[in-house]
Amino acid sequence: MYRAPVEDIAFTLKHVAGMKSALDAGTFGDLGEDLVDAVLGEAGRFATDEVAPLYKIGDEQGAVLKDAAVTTPPGWKELYRRWIDGGWNALSGPEAYGGQALPTMLGVAALEMWNSAAMAFGIGPTLTMGAVEALDKHASEELKAKYLEKLVSGEWMGTMNLTEPQAGSDLNALRARAEPAGDGTYRIFGQKIFITYGEHDFTDNIIHLVLARLPDAPAGTRGISLFLVPKFLVGDDGSLGARNDVFCSGLEHKLGIHASPTCTMIYGDGFGGAAPGAIGWLIGEENKGLACMFTMMNNARLAVGMQGVAVAEAATQKAIAYANERRQGKAASYAGAGMAPIVRHPDVQRNLLTMKALTQTARAISYCCAHAIDLARVSTGDEAAHWRDRANLLTPLAKAFSTDVGVEVASLGLQVHGGMGFIEETGAAALYRDARIAPIYEGTNGIQAIDLVMRKLPLGGGEHVYGYIVELAAVANAVRISNLQGFGRTADALDEALAELTHATRFLQKLSADGQSDEALAGATPYLRLISLAAGGAYLAQGALADPGRIALCRFFAENLLGEARALKDRIIGGAESLAAAGKALISA
- Just list the catalytic residues: 442
| Amino acid at residue number 127 | L
Residue type, 23: L
Whether the CB-CB separation of 174 and 44 falls below 8 Å is answered with no
Specify whether the CB–CB gap between 532 and 357 falls below 8 A.
Answer: no
Burial of 457 (0-12, 13-18, 19+ CB in 10 A): buried
Euclidean distance between CA atoms 346 and 35, whole angstroms: 41
Pick the closest to residue 343 from 401, 397, 416, 393 (CA basis): 416
Characterise 418 by phi-psi region: left (phi > 0), alpha (psi -120 to 50), beta (else).
left
Nearest to 157 by CA among 200, 195, 117: 200
- Phi-psi category of residue 148: left, alpha or beta, with phi > 0 → left and psi -120 to 50 → alpha: alpha
Say if residues 470 and 498 touch (Cβ distance below 8 Å): no
Q: What would the DSSP string read from start to end of 387-449?
A: HHHHHHHHHHIIIIIHHHHHHHHHHHHHHHHGGGGGSGGGSHHHHHHHHTTTTTSSS-HHHHH
Q: Cα–Cα distance between 541 and 558 in angstroms, integer?
A: 9
Segments in 199-249 forming alpha helices (H): none
Give a three-class secondary structure readout of 3-34: CCCHHHHHHHHHHHCCHHHHHHCCCCCCCCHH
List phi, psi (to 5°) of 192. Answer: -125, 140
In contact, 372 and 391? CB cutoff 8 Å: yes
- Distance in angstroms (rounded) separating the CA atoms of residues 141 and 135: 9
Q: How many other CB atoms sit within 10 Å of the CB of residue 4?
A: 27
Q: How far apart are CA 587 and CA 16, in angstroms?
A: 46
From the list 405, 406, 316, 313, the residue with the least C-alpha distance to 352 is 316
Separation between Cα atoms, residue 328 and residue 330, nearest integer Å: 7
In 3D, which of 328, 321, 343 has the Cα closest to residue 427? 321
Is 443:297 a contact under the CB 8 Å cutoff?
yes
